[in-house]
Chains A and B, each alone.
Chain A
Amino acid sequence: MDSEQLLGVADQILGWANDDEQVEVVVVHGRDSEVRAYGGEIESLTTAESQGVGIRVIKDSRQGFAYAGTLDPDVLGETLRDARDNATFGTPDEFLALTEPDGVEIPKLDLVDPEVTTFPTERKIEMAIELEKMVLAGDPRVVGVEVAEYADAYNTGAVVSTTGIRSVGSETSSYVVAYSLTSDGEDTQAGFGYSVGKGPGAIDLDKAAADAVDRGTRLLGATKPKTEKLTIVFDPYVTAQFLSIIAGTLTGDVVLKGRSLFADRMGETVGSPLITLVDDATNPEAFSATEADGEGLATRRTGLIEAGVLQSFLHNSYTARKAKAVSTGSAVRGYSSTPSVGAMALALTPGTKSQAELIADIPNGLLVQGVSGLHSGVNAISGDFSTGAEGLMIRNGELAEPVREFTIASTLQRMLLDVVAVGGDVEHLPMSAAGLSLVVSDVTMSGA
């Protein structure tokens, strides 16, 4: 379905709104395809079309919501009735209201690569099979490829409300990802590599294959390190995950509900002077760039931390109203939920050094290549940070032996303050934060 058809569906629902209620409709449509190769053959070929509608009703300062994974005409009316009925059970809240257009012009970003719609299936299959071949040929220690995949998507979404919001936009994406299996005869390891872009033309198979090979082989023979405190370097991919956790403590929602470490710290120093963190979904380079937020307001650049000083929280229209602030265009949602608040495209202001140069400055440290259990060992409310990790020791400024089966731990508060260097190696990743190498001192490595 194109933008006009989606707006048509949304308008039809708005037409059923009563005078005494506010109604907001989110309608989405997506087409995606995925090809997986295994053993030189197609393992699976998936083509799919998905659609959905979410309806929010606010009446007498109460909110109700309902969604459906279909745009069948008979379901639309039922979904509106459900949302309306649900609203009668909400607690009245004077700050509940749909947003009106706020005068910030919606940026025009070029987020669609039309080739996504015309790229032939045969080429997708070739890319997946070729990627598998390249990983296998990359190093004699590669003994298998668990996954070699090409995927792309074309998504269109519209937000329309009785308060004058009318936004619609489309985005495309393509990616390849490979997981290598490596062995030195005794030890077995795995490593991933990927390449992402707006369309198939941006895909770099060589990079994806080389990363999968390198990540898998360099951990071979890894042993468990001894427990000590040391300086760590986060690989860009790990830094991006860390930034997403930090941003989760800076949303209006957790601040207003007393769940943020930084609720009372506005204007204070919360990080090293090297930390300048922005959220900017208007940067077309970002994988998660988008023109409008989940309430149909323009996305915009928000400086969260500047030179270590806390500058702003993120807000959607509800948290902004309640906090007597303005929306930062940070409403995030799918069609199956009401708008929450979240970062869309985080980025640290980069330094100038490459990862190798950063490592050269470290006499004794650790390069963290990957982490696991971020969801089970990090508590963004208390600030406790503990995660499984794997990587390479740093000895006298050079990468040394690989290590695994250990954890790294600190607190979120301390880690922000303990940042001692920021790399210049910005990498746009398939997530809501850009990555770069980040050096943090005084982290506990728990091993043997």
Chain B
Amino acid sequence: MSEVGKPGRQLTSGTNVPEGQNRVALNETEPVFAQYGEKMIEQDLVELTLSHALEHGGDFAEVFAEDKTSSSAVFDDGKVEELTSGRSRGVGVRVVVGETTGFAHTADLSETGLLAAAEAAGAAARGGGGGVRTVALNPTTAPRPNEVLVQPNDVPKGTKVGLLERAEAAGRGAGSEITQVMARYGDSRRRILVANSDGIFTGDDQVKTMFSVSCVATGDTGMQTGRESVGHTIGFELFDAHDVEAIARRAATRALTKLAAVPAPSGEMTVVIGKGGGGVLFHEACGHGLEADAIKKQASVFAGQMGNKVASDMVTLIDNGTMSEEWGCYAVDDEGHAAQSNTLIENGVLTDYMWDLLRAKADGRESSGNGRRQSYQCLPMVRMTNTYVTNGEDEPEDIIASTKNGIYVAQLGGGQVNTVSGDFVFGMTEAYLIEDGKITAPIREGNLIGNGPEVLTRIDALGNDFAMGSPGMCGKDGQGVPVGDGTPTLRVTSLTVGGAAA
């Protein structure tokens, strides 16, 4: 059953295993397209498809091919539940005529399949100018954010299962109140080829590896949960830098701590957010509102605000798709544009929005490399990559010590925004009361709510301890893409905490 499409935007903190990707370590000098392009579709067939797509007219045509493989393994309830291998491969063809886009996709990579998709996508252009268009492709490559040292596909499945067993034992061993542990491993390799009638012919090879542990602790007050995840755009070398037992212990400790949690307070109060996690706040408070598709439709509170002061002086917000190894990085976006680092807010002043190809063309500018799609079955749109606030000058301890009363949020659990009103929520999955400048009792889970433009101006302290947060999946209009975010410790003078305590 299809779901009703709606322009909802929400961020889920890394629960999802990436759908499937893995890759081959390439020689740096070897053009990317030569590896993937030829493997997926020959250049002359790509050119033929583009010409065919424009046969009935049209301003622009694009071929996007994708080959994804993935593997995942789940250890739950004391056993390896299952290993899953996945494969998906196909092509999406887009034809743009004026303001209209025609799109078709197929899993059939033969000439017949490609031309049929081109025909269907070109149907939107029927009645247009027509005539023969020759498309000359210009193969290019963009530097990859980082290399992949160990292809997950080359790692024996037994080794992956071994990680899960170790994590589960460590989780169980963290305390007798730990009553359930689930550990999840996932890797994926996503190879893409992008070609369009502007002559772009490029590709990318994206490998991601992730690991997460969820624990349940049971006490007198019922059950509590704790979760921890790590994920990077690298191969199996992820586990050289991250110890799965430590990941499990952090998840278990969260659940155990919350057994003593008091009901979360309710109402407006000062909120301090620990390093890393605060990125979710910016993702929701302004990230989505700075996407050019929302701006174009006047569906964002940040439309018409360019050059205006939109945040506290200390806020500099960057979206950076080139950020080495981070969850939202890539060489080229899903429209063939090289990833780049874009400053969105500088010292509180709005300096740019994020752009995809069509929105940029309409505005007579370059794409900012933010055109992304969940898969070949989807049209690209403006999406974030790794979104973060740069360091401030405050010592994190001082921020807490100078907060009379409020709450301290150590881990956030995703969020959601209405870009039209600017109202956004984000969840707290590990949080404490601050009383007289000290972190005290743990509190139960809940959402916090604020209004983006208001909250940005209420940031009155920014730490010098920048860190990236957990890997996330950002959902928009039914499409999920991996994103990263980060912040130093920060303080918001007033946010509404949505607890049940009266």
What residues of chain A have their CB less than 8 Å away from a CB belonging to chain B? 32, 34, 38-39, 41-52, 63-72, 75, 78-79, 82-83, 85-87, 89-91, 93, 121, 143-144, 146-147, 149, 151-153, 155, 171, 173, 175, 177, 179, 181, 187-190, 192, 194, 196, 219, 224, 227, 229, 256-259, 261, 287-288, 336-338, 372-373, 375-377, 379, 381-388, 390, 404-411, 430-431, 444, 446-448
Contacts and interface: CB of A to CB of B under 8 A. Distances in A.
Interface stretch (B6-14, B35-43, B432-440, B479-487): B6-14
Contacts of B78: 91
21 contacts: A42-B124, A43-B99, A47-B104, A49-B106, A63-B82, A64-B82, A66-B86, A66-B87, A153-B1, A177-B4, A227-B502, A373-B416, A373-B425, A373-B449, A377-B413, A382-B225, A388-B447, A407-B446, A407-B449, A430-B3, A446-B267
Nearest to B77: A257
Which interface residue of A48, A189, A376, A384 has the most chain B CB atoms within 10 A? A376
A189 B104 contact: no
A189 B419 CA distance: 9
B471 to A, nearest CB: 15
A258 B4 CA distance: 33
Contacts of B161: 89
B105 interface: yes
Interface stretch (B387-395, B398-406, B491-499): B491-499
A146 B224 contact: no
B421 A446 contact: no
A405 B450 contact: yes
What are the 6 A-B residue pairs with the smallest beta carbon separation, nearest first?
A407-B498, A376-B427, A377-B447, A69-B88, A386-B446, A91-B79
B100 A42 contact: yes
Majority SS at the chain A contact face? strand
Nearest to A153: B2
Interface in B1-49: 1-7, 10-13
Contacts of B223: 258-259, 261, 381-382
A155 B216 contact: no
B10 A375 contact: yes
A46 B104 contact: yes
B87 A44 contact: no
Nearest to A182: B420
Given A372-B423, A375-B416, A446-B498, 15 more contacts: A44-B100, A65-B84, A69-B87, A171-B1, A177-B5, A190-B299, A190-B418, A257-B180, A376-B414, A376-B426, A379-B445, A386-B498, A388-B416, A404-B423, A405-B450
B13 to A, nearest CB: 8
B371 interface: no
B466 interface: no
A403 B417 CA distance: 16
B80 interface: yes
Nearest to A171: B1
Interface in B250-289: 258, 264, 266-268
Given A65-B83, A190-B420, A377-B498, A372 B1 contact: no
Contact of B423 (A181, A259, A388): A388
A91 B80 contact: yes
B499 A175 contact: no
Chain B contact-residue range equals 35 or more
B224 A382 contact: yes
A257 B76 contact: yes
Contacts of A219: 421
B266 A446 contact: yes
A32 B1 contact: no
B85 A83 contact: yes
Of the listed residues B6, B83, B416, the one surrounded by the most CB atoms of chain A closer than 10 A to its CB is: B83
Contacts of A446: 266-267, 449, 496-499
A373 B427 contact: yes
Nearest to A337: B84
Contacts of B496: 224, 405-407, 446-448
B241 interface: no
B2 to A, nearest CB: 4
B80 A45 contact: no
B415 interface: yes
Nearest to A68: B87
Contacts of A70: 87-90, 107
B210 interface: no
A68 B445 contact: no
Contacts of A152: 2
B108 to A, nearest CB: 8
B146 interface: no
A188 B421 contact: yes
A48 B123 CA distance: 13
Interface in B100-152: 100-107, 120, 123-124
